Amino acid sequence: MRGWTTAWLLAWTLGAAAQDGTAPQRYALPAPELQAIVDAARPPQLFLGPQRDLAALMQVPSLPGIDVVAQPELKLAGLRINPRAYAQSRFSFGADLWLLDVGTRKEIRLAGLPAPLGIVGVQWSPDQRHLAFNRVDAATGANELWLVDVPARAARRLASGLNTVAGRGYTWLPDSSGLLVHLQPEGQGAAPAPDTTPVGPAVQETATGSGVKQIRTYQDLLRNEGDARVFEHYLRSQLARVDLAGRVERLGAPALWLSASPSPDGRYVLAQRAERPFSYLVPVNSFPRRIEVLGRDGALVHAVAALPLVEGLPVGNDAVREGVRSIDWRSDAPATLVWAEARDGGDPAREAEVRDDVLMQAAPFDRAPVVLARLGLRYGGATWGDGQLALIDEYWWKSRAIRQWRVAPDAPDTAPRLLREGSFEDRYNDPGTPVTVADAAGNPRLLLAEGGRALFLIGDGASPEGDRPFVDRLDLDDGRKTRLFHSQAPYYERPQALLDARGERLLVTRESPTEPANYMIRSGRRAPVALTHFAHPTPQLKNVRKEQIRYARKDGVDLTGTLYLPPGYDARRDGPLPLLMWAYPQEFKSASAAGQVTDSPYRFNFISYWGPQAFLARGYAVLDDPSMPIVGEGDAEPNDTYIPQLIAGAQAAIDEVVRRGVADRDRIAIGGHSYGAFMTANLLAHTRLFRAGIARSGAYNRSLTPFGFQAEERSYWQAQPVYQAMSPFNYADRIKDPLLLIHGEQDNNPGTFPVQSERLFAAIKGLGGTARLVMLPNESHGYRARESVLHMLAETDRWLERYVKNAAPRGAGASP
């Protein structure tokens, strides 16, 4: 109990006075050293301008209070809506905004910014003369569009009454003359009042012969017609153009607009709107929708597609809806639509040589679409260069296969050329991501060199030594690569952008275990020049020791983890410590991919309140992200042997930290969030390896997610023994070590209903086990309020102190 202040003990006493829930509960404060981590400053976010010589920086504020998080909120059709502001209710605000001249490294402060600032996001104009941002004030209901005049270094409000329920709510016109926005319709009136007297039941029906469909476990769905009317009210918006003087030109009539984007030449708008009939089973992205091309006046120019309601897909993670999907403008052409359509009915179980067609249709849209590519896998997107060069990606989840093709968009009959083929699990052979830059209209285009014969790639550089990010130039004629940059020890440098057309000047972030990431300019072989000087957020923990450790599972699969030790700790002098292990299992199709090293030993030792590293301040050793691979090679499914593989991974990690002399085998806790919480409950149900567990926002009964979960493709009825074996709820009688369950009362993540934690706690309590259930008000899958985060840490600290740090040895019983 050393170091706990009287104030902290009082706060804890108020918060945990009665474990049976009968006494009033209050938010607790953790120990001061944990509170300091919560309140540590966070680094600003940087947004590079399209000309790459100017950047905007937005300061990320400290956590909001519960009074902000507890603002009124509607949960409709998979959306969470702030009804005062007609905005999405779950977002982070920017607390400050300024500019940075990349060439001179000078900061530029702005006049006229509103207070409170409340920035939701920023977007540069294509000509870089302006910066737009959305300001939301949840308390007053303000939802505004603001404009920064870069030459004048001043901000002003451009428009009010935005509707950002379905997305950002604004985008720049390609000529930088104004913005396309979603406004709250004029004269719409108040939202429909909730139905207090039902006029009838909510009815759903299915019919024999409708086929086998997978319907994932969604939350925040519509429940009745009253919900549907309220949903329509808040989603309905008016498309409009707003010029730089603030003049508004409305386009067409209000509708349930989901998205709207101008064509690169500015003559058209690609718009999507939802329609009835709605559904009580799926969220809005599966509702019927119309995809249309509108003219500058909002009039219909071309009806692209009318997509029906989709209540479930065929079995498998490679299943997709039929009809038009992933539609967008081709960024290198004036007004050409590009989209994919399944040729196998969207069913991965159906044999088909061609899975997807990639189609194009150019303005004025009076000719039939042309086929740009026929794919044997699923369409994964396109990256545009010019009429002679675009990259088409395809993937297949089942086999983890990935391919990349070079195509000529202006000559679609030209045979595509294969540039890459492999597995997206294979990080060691990942060639990197093609570099794009904004063109004059603000659209991303491939950065080409040598007259279009070469492009650039930025990659993680995964290797047995850890990640070493790189920049390569790829010769498209012969496939030869030239390495232009490679991160070197003792730093971790990540290229963020290329600042010239030759790849010689780079914007990078540079960090080391004791130095936080800062932006720097690299020019050839010269020493990097610092653009920013962000301070260490937790200097009291600057001397934390970190090591990327490697060990093997008993079946030979190579594993890694990141071991952290408290400042000043010496294993020979101080002996083994209590240890907190925090993990998240991952499925693989090959043992070789599962054994690849992830992360880098040269990354900054970022101590976050969200992860386990915060407990270094309380004297614990921490093993973060130890590999917990679940491998199913060939035709085998990973989850068929989930439990034995999970146990083997945990046992190997424990054996390694004990062998190193840094951890006491009798004082090790296991924890995780979401799927990591599921892992935690399973390890406590099937082993006695750990003295306690911390499970946050997890799912524990897989019969409540019967149409698949995580990477599991099969339904409960196809793999019932697997679902049952993987559900720790079924083995609650075997959970003999203390389990702390924490969950947001309003969790909207598919599958992790709050009832999952409530029912597991009830089972453990009824069976005489030791558990504590903490339900955080107004919190979702992640926790946002400062009070909630502090209370989470206080609960976790108390649990670890009681059941791990001060636990008595239990001898030979600590085995699977």
Mean pLDDT for 763-782 is: 97
Q: Is the pLDDT assigned to residue 121 strictly greater than 90?
A: no
- Residues linked to residue 149 through DSSP beta bridges, in sequence order: 130, 154
Strand partners, 558: 552
The per-residue pLDDT of the chain, averaged, comes to 93
pLDDT at site 419? 96
Please write the tens of the pLDDT for every residue from 24-52.
689 999 999 999 999 999 999 999 999 99
Assign 225 to helix, strand or coil: helix
Of the residues 130, 233, 781, 791, which is catalytic? 781
The average pLDDT across 633-654 equals 96
pLDDT band at 424 (very low <50, low <70, confident <90, very high): very high
| Residues 145 and 136: beta-carbon distance below 8 Å | no
What average pLDDT does this structure show over 63-71? Answer: 90
**Cα–Cα dist 638/710, whole Å:** 12
Give the residue-averaged pLDDT of 668-677: 98
pLDDT of the residue at 572:
93
Q: In the predicted model, what is the mean pLDDT of residues 384-413? A: 96
Quick one: pLDDT at residue 390?
A: 97
> How far is Cα 441 from Cα 331, in angstroms, rounded to an integer?
9
Contact 565, 475 (CB under 8 A): no
pLDDT surpasses 90 at 313: yes
Whole-number Å distance between alpha carbons of 699 and 673: 10
Phi, psi of 715 (to 5 degrees): -85, 170
The predicted pLDDT at position 5 comes to 44
pLDDT of residue 85 exceeding 90:
yes
What residue segments make up the domains of the chain, in order of their start? Answer: 539-807
Calpha distance 116→135 (Å, rounded):
9
Q: Residue 15: pLDDT above 80?
A: no
pLDDT at 197: 78
What band does 811 get if pLDDT is binned at 50, 70 and 90? low
Strand pairing category for 692-696 and 739-744? parallel
42, 92 contact by CB (below 8 A): no
Q: What is the pTM of this model?
A: 0.93
> CA-to-CA distance for 231 and 238, rounded, in angstroms?
16
Nearest to 735 by CA among 703, 692, 702: 692
Per cent of the chain over pLDDT 70 is 95
Residue 44 preceded by cis peptide, ω within 30: no
pLDDT at 4 over 80: no
| 674 a catalytic residue | yes
Q: What is the pLDDT of residue 814?
A: 47
User: What mean pLDDT do residues 689-710 have?
Assistant: 96
pLDDT at residue 7 in the model: 42
Catalytic residue among 715, 747, 757, 791: 747
Residue 459 in this model has a pLDDT that exceeds 50: yes
Q: Which residue's entry shows tokens 């947004």?
A: 47
Q: Which CATH number fits domain 539-807: 3.30.300.30, 3.40.50.300, 3.40.50.1820, 3.90.1570.10?
A: 3.40.50.1820
Distance separating alpha carbons of residues 709 and 715, to the nearest angstrom: 9
Q: pLDDT band at 6, cuts 50/70/90?
A: very low
Banded model confidence at residue 139, pLDDT cuts 50, 70, 90: confident
The reported pLDDT for the residue numbered 21 is 52
Mean pLDDT of 605-627: 96
674, 697, 715, 780: which is the annotated catalytic residue?
A: 674
Place of tokens 């207090």: 196
**pLDDT given for residue 109 in this prediction:** 97
* Predicted confidence (pLDDT) at residue 665 exceeds the cutoff of 90: yes
Q: Note the pLDDT of residue 91.
A: 67
Q: How many residues does the chain have?
A: 816
- The whole-number pLDDT of residue 215 equals 83
Give the CA count within 13 Å in the CB-facing half-sphere of 349. Answer: 8
- Over the stretch 352-384, which tens digit does the pLDDT of each residue have? 999 999 999 999 999 999 999 999 999 999 999
Q: Residues 478-512: pLDDT tens digits?
A: 999 999 999 999 999 999 999 999 999 999 999 99
| Mean pLDDT confidence for 458-466 | 96
β-pairing, 370-375 vs 378-386, is unpaired
For residue 24, the model assigns a pLDDT of 62
Contact yes or no for 528/515 (Cβ under 8 A): no
pLDDT for residue 433? 97
Mean pLDDT across the stretch 97-120?
A: 94
At 808 the pLDDT is 86
Please tell me the predicted confidence (pLDDT) of residue 217: 86
Residues of the chain above pLDDT 90, percent? 87
pLDDT band for 93, please (50, 70, 90 cuts): confident
What is the largest distance, in Å, between two alpha-carbon atoms of the chain? 80
160-214 residue pLDDT tens:
999 999 999 999 999 999 999 999 999 999 999 877 777 788 787 876 666 777 8
Per-residue pLDDT band at 20 (split at 50, 70, 90): low
pLDDT higher than threshold 60 for residue 348: yes
Can you read off the two tokens belonging to residue 310? 């989709």
pLDDT band at 809 (very low <50, low <70, confident <90, very high): confident
The SS3 assignment for 246 reads coil
Average pLDDT over residues 124-135: 97
Is the pLDDT confidence value at 75 over 90? Answer: yes
Q: Using pLDDT thresholds of 50, 70 and 90, give the confidence band for residue 94.
A: confident
